[in-house]
Amino acid sequence: MTARILVVDDIHANVKLLETRLLAEYYDVVAALSGQEALEICHSSNVDIVLLDVMMPEMDGFEVCRRLKADPKTTNIPVVMVTALDRPEDRVRGLEAGADDFLTKPVNDLQLLSRVKSLARLKNLSDELFLRAATAREADIEGLLLSRTEDIKTRAKLLIVDENEAAASRLRDLLSRDNEVDIVTEPSAALISVVEGDYDCVIVATGFTTYDPLRLCSQMRAIERTRLLPIILIAEHDEASLVARGLDLGVNDYLMRPLDRNELLARVRTQVKRKRYNDLLRKSLSQTIEMAVTDSLTGLHNRRYLDSHMSMLFTRSISRERPLSVLMTDMDHFKLINDTHGHDAGDDVLRDFAGRLHRNIRGIDLACRYGGEEFVVVLPDTDAQMAAVVAERIRETVASTPFLIHNGTASVDVTISVGLACLQPRNDSVEKLFKRADIALYKAKKNGRNRVVGAVA
């Protein structure tokens, strides 16, 4: 995955150093020599990650970070603070300013590239999420998405896999303020815990006596349920090659001992955020699909769904030589309800009708809001005689009980007219079938409404 990375440092040689390494990995690099310049670039162009020097004249890195995070337009750009190794207090200030990650000078290649890769993925996910929210604005799921992003801020569930119980407990102490933390010390039990627990991130230590911790990582990547679950490796300072192999296997990030608490928290937070964006994206995708085929007022299927689904039902009935019936229903004098009681009352009636309709058909029947106050029910495996019974039952359930409106403070009498048509064994089509149902409905209206009329074959 490529990304556009902004390198900010007041010393030109430092910029060049990072730029060369990133260009070698085919990243797109832009440079800024001051905080002000960095802010301008972030505002005027698309930046995926900012590598930000802390010590700069005029505006320092903390201030740049604060401004980026305070502006809705730039708040989602991951910021990596590049700090001096001997100044741990910089990390606390960086976290307070909203930094997503840290690198220490001199910047080590493995660290640089694993952080950049991880944050580029995160940025990509959040972009996709917001793009989708923007696209879905008309469908009214934006609010839903935004309320769901609150989920991202709740406590994370973490699993520590470490044979050394004392070390695992110390790690838990570091993490337990912001997270719920479980520990597993038995390598053979680890995979089961991972699969069965609903974790946001798994932290794997390398120091097992006989077990290869990378085996767990590769098993997790092979199983569908844990394929996207973030893994952070905790390694000893001399295990760079093991870390490199881990990153190749799909480990998301790593830390080396001795552990820095702020760094640990920042890394875990980034991975958890990514996992939750991922989850959110998948949820929003299935919701988008559902919204596209559902009528938002009544919760029934919409006409688009009927159109795409009807040909399948039709073909199946023909090939199996099974009956198929269609009810075309229309509310009588619906305009009068709207005009007399207002459109909210009209909506109440439509919703109530959808419920009554739904309660009087089977699971395999397909009920759709066809448009306005017109509804279509498709009844597979149902002949004309049976369909007439169903249609009469629906008509009766509407006419017999008045519909409540204005939050139940008033009610209104409603009737419906129904046109019924059945599949003909020869020379029929979806269009002809619907046309016959439509003509039957017209007759029901013409003959006085509140009745069911069967089509002439």
CB of 47 to Mg ion, least distance (A): 19
Q: What is the DSSP letter of 407?
A: T
* Known catalytic membership, residue 373: yes
Instruction: Quickly count: other Cβ atoms within 10 Å of residue 92's Cβ.
Output: 11
Instruction: Quickly count: other Cβ atoms within 10 Å of residue 246's Cβ.
Output: 25
Residue in 403, 415, 456 with CA at minimum distance from that of residue 329 = 415
Which of 68/220 has CB closer to Mg ion? 68
Which of 9/263 has CB closer to Mg ion? 9
Question: 403-412, long-range: CB within 8 Å, 24+ apart, which pairs?
Answer: 403/348, 403/349, 403/352, 403/353, 404/348, 404/352, 405/341, 405/344, 405/345, 405/348, 405/349, 406/341, 406/344, 406/345, 406/348, 410/341, 410/345, 412/337, 412/341, 412/345, 412/349
Q: Is 189 exposed, middle or buried (0-12, 13-18, 19+ CB in 10 A)?
A: exposed
Amino acid at 309: H
**Which residue ranges make up the site for Mg ion (CB under 5 A)?**
10, 53, 55-56
Amino acid at 41: I
CB of 148 to Mg ion, least distance (A): 39
Q: Among 373, 374, 392, 431, which one carries the catalytic annotation? A: 373
Which of 53/100 has CB closer to Mg ion? 53
Which of 10/128 has CB closer to Mg ion? 10
CB of 17 to Mg ion, least distance (A): 13
List phi, psi (to 5°) of 178: -105, -10
For residue 241, give the H/E element and its range. helix 240-249
CB of 109 to Mg ion, least distance (A): 20
Which of 39/136 has CB closer to Mg ion? 39
Which of 55/249 has CB closer to Mg ion? 55
CB of 20 to Mg ion, least distance (A): 18
Q: What's the order of all strands across the beta sheet hosting 366-371? A: 366-371, 374-380, 324-331, 416-422, 452-454
| CA-to-CA separations, 161 to 31, 193, 227, 410, in angstroms, rounded | 40, 10, 17, 63
Amino acid at 225: R
CA separation for the pair 50, 35 (Å, rounded)? 11
CB of 8 to Mg ion, least distance (A): 9
Q: Which residue sits closest to Mg ion, CB atoms considered?
A: 55
> What are the catalytic residues?
373
